[in-house]
Amino acid sequence: MRGALAVAGLVLSLFTPVTDSQTSSPPPGKITLDIKTINGSGCPAGTADATAVVSPDNTAFTVTYNNFVARAGAGAAAVDQRKNCQINVLVHVPPGFTYAVAEADYSGFAHLAAGATALEQANYYFTGTAPTARVPHSLTGPFDGEWQTQDVADVLVYAPCGVDRNLNINAELRAGVGSSNSANGSYIEMDTSHASVSTVYQFAWKQC
C-alpha cells in the first residue's frame, strides 16, 4: 500500500487583497527570463533546463530537471540523502508592471521502502531580501509512484518596481532510512525520466 503524501498548507507569500494598483491580468508585453546561475548538489552543470519556458499568457514559467534525486539505504552515502538546487533567474517585465511568485507546483517520482521517509521543500526570495520560510512536504514508505506538491501562501512579495531584480528559487529533496531496513534502497526525485515532472512557477502581477 502506498504511503500518504502530506501536502502542507504552505509557503511563500501569495495572495493579498486586491487594491487599485494590483491586477490579476498579465501585462500586455512579453516577459523574458535569463537563467543566471544553477547551483547545487542536485543540479550540477548541465542537469537543469536553462531555457525556461514561459507560458503564452505570461503567467508562469517551467523548469525541468534531469537528475535531481536524493537516496537513502542500500549503500547510499550521507551526501546522497540531501540534494538541493538553487536557480537564480532574472525576470524582465514590461514597463509599469512588477510581479510576485504566486504558486509553485512540483512533481516527481519516489520509491520508498516501508518505514523510509522523503521530503520536498523550497524557498524563494529576490536578491537583497530575506528568504521565505521553508515548509516541508513529507512522504513515508511504503510508496512507489508519482508525487505532487504545491507551494502557496497568503502574502504576495513583489519585486521592486522599475528594477530588474534576480529571483532565487532554492528547492531541496531529502531521503531517510527511517525505520526501514537500511539494506533496502529508497529515493525521491524530480527527474524527466518520468512523465510530467517539470516544476511550474505561477506569477501574480501588479501595476507600479
Residue 193: per-residue pLDDT:
36
- Domains belonging to the chain, first-starting first, are 32-207 (2.60.120)
pLDDT tens profile 113-153: 999 999 999 888 888 877 777 778 999 999 999 999 888 76
**Residue whose C-alpha is closest to residue 92's, from 14, 19, 27, 151:** 27
Residue 109: per-residue pLDDT:
93
E-strand spans in 19-154? 22-23, 32-39, 53-54, 60-63, 68-72, 82-92, 97-112, 117-126, 137-140, 143-151
Residue 2: per-residue pLDDT:
30
User: The whole model's pTM is what?
Assistant: 0.78
